Amino acid sequence: MKPHSGGHGFSYPLRWRIMDGLEKLLDVLWPRRLSRFTGWLLILPSLLLVALLVLGMARIAESSLHVLDRSTFRPAEAFTLDNYRTVFGSATYGNVFLRSVGASVLTVIFTLLLAFPFAYILVRTASAALRKVLLVTLFLPFFIGQVVRAYGILIVLGTSGAVNDVLGLVGVAPLRLLFNFPAVVFGEVQFMLPFAVLMLAPALTAIPQETETAASSLGANWLRTLWHVILPMAKPGIVGAALVVGTLTLTDFAIPAMLGGGSQDFIANAIYDQFFRTADQGLGSALALLLVALGSLFAGIVISLFGAGTLGLGDRR
């Protein structure tokens, strides 16, 4: 029942009138007898996106079974597994896969080592000013973009960059800091750090600070508290961060291309070359499916060993 003005001078707020109007409009557009379908309606856009993804993957799978006819530069009509034989029989592609996996593992390790202290200080600091500085530092990279950040690393680590300029002041000859595997891993860690912090911060926030105080009162020093209390309780965030960082690194394209100088390609770079440089869609499709399988295998191993972490939506394993 709509409130009305009375002796107390109450007036029906305008925002309530607007909400009432929207509710009446919704009753017209979506009658209550259809309420059981409301949930499906809300997830319909997501289902459409998933359907497009599935259709695209099916098309890629079909394309991977056709080799490139070198006489016409069109896919041959016959179905064959030659593209997969080419990938598994090539030492070059073997090195690309090993490099991608190795970089993903190293990026996960170094990113977590850097992100955990950052997230812990962000959550536990009592200084509002420091928290604001950390938040700005965390979110600023998202407004810069991956390519611009990679160019920034090129400028800083180049032969005439800031790092070599500083080394030159102490008599050290310019070092080759770019276009090698460590440079790619460094760029990946720098790019993935904000993602890891965003996954770790909620997990650390959920740990009551009184738990650490109780551990300290029972005689545990900070390192023992960290190892036996904080890290086990922060496991969901750590696992979630590892999954996100590992899969994003495994499928990355820009940083290996820019900081690797063409000699440190990941799987995504090899896929790009096959699709847009050699026009071999069949081989590119085979590489794409193997990348999907490798990423799924990585996620499956992590989830089977440690659970789904913060991605598990309530998983308590």
Q: How confident is the model at residue 44 (pLDDT cuts 50, 70, 90)?
A: confident
5 pLDDT more than 70? no
Give percent above pLDDT 70 in the chain.
94
Residue 181 pLDDT: 95
Of 22-26, 192-196, 238-242, minimum mean pLDDT range: 22-26
- Residue 312: pLDDT band by 50, 70, 90 thresholds? low
Q: What is the mean pLDDT of residues 153-176?
A: 87
Q: What is the pLDDT of residue 295?
A: 92
User: Which pLDDT score, from 0 to 100, does residue 315 have?
Assistant: 53
- pLDDT > 70? residue 21: yes
Q: What is the mean pLDDT of residues 39-43?
A: 80
Could you identify the residue written with the tokens 């972490």?
Answer: 309
* 170 has a pLDDT exceeding 50: yes
Confidence (pLDDT) at 193 = 95
What pLDDT, in 10s, does the model give residues 199-228?
Answer: 999 999 999 988 988 988 888 888 899 998
| Reported pTM | 0.83
**How far is Cα 83 from Cα 282, in angstroms, rounded to an integer?**
7
Check pLDDT > 60 for residue 317. Answer: no
Confidence category of residue 15, pLDDT binned at 50, 70, 90:
confident
Residue 310 has pLDDT above 80, yes or no: no
Encoded amino acid at 159, one letter: T
pLDDT at 71: 82
Q: Which CATH number fits domain 91-312: 1.10.443.10, 3.40.50.1980, 3.60.21.10, 1.10.3720.10?
A: 1.10.3720.10
CA distance 105 to 247: 10
Distance between first and last Cα of the chain: 48
Domain locations along the chain:
14-63, 91-312
